[in-house]
Amino acid sequence: MNEETHTEACGNEPEELTRESEVSADAEVVDSDQQSAPLSDEAIAALVETAEGELGHAIRQLLEERSIAREDRLRALAEVSNNQRRAAENERRVEQASRARVYRGVLPVLDQMEMALDQDLDTVSPQQLAEGVRIARDELAKTLAEQGVEPIEPKVGDAFDPIRHEAMMRQEAEGVESNHIVMVMQSGYVMGEQVLRPAKVAVSP
């Protein structure tokens, strides 16, 4: 073999290999696209009609399993939706029942106030009016206690607690340490660990 023939043969071989590689790569892209593209129901039905033997049986079996899986999924989604709806309804009913208990407890307090207002102010004494207000207050306190609401009633000399107390002013007081309560202006209320309203106090500087 002469030098020109050898060069020509060597020069043609890479081009042919390159073209074959490009064709192979294109074929892989097409195959990949065909594999990744989902088949429509019409295409699957056409395959079932043309398929025979074990292949046709396998396709029909897979289609049946897919149909069952779809039904199970829809049934599960419906069950989840129903459970969420029932849970929301139960939560609403519990909330209403809890509120109703509170309201029923407040009604006797309202009755006591009505009785006090219905009295003849020309004949009733201040002591009797005060007694009516006291009864209404005690009834309301009882109702709140049944719901877990308790008063915060600090005493003079107690250490100031910024969570349970609200300092309204700084005031000197003999015998009271710094940052301790010297006067209680208004009681607070707590329900369990939650402070509904801190007690208003004056604190020593």
Q: Determine the angle formed by the axes of helices 41-50 and 53-118, rounding to 10 degrees.
A: 150
The predicted structure's pLDDT at residue 9: 45
Region 181-189: what's the mean pLDDT? 95
pLDDT in tens, 80-90: 999 999 999 99
**Cβ-proximal residues to 109 (8 Å cutoff; 6+ apart), any chain:** 136, 139, 140, 143
Q: How confident is the model at residue 35 (pLDDT cuts 50, 70, 90)?
A: low
CA–CA separation, 183 and 180 (whole Å): 9
H runs (alpha helix) in 119-179: 126-146
Q: Quick one: pLDDT at residue 55?
A: 76
Q: Are 191 and 149 in contact (CB under 8 A)?
A: yes
Which one has a higher pLDDT value, 74 or 39? 74
**CA-based torsion, 187, 191, 196, 198: positive or negative:** positive
Beta bridge partners of 152: 188
Average pLDDT over residues 116-144: 86
pLDDT (average), residues 129-154: 89
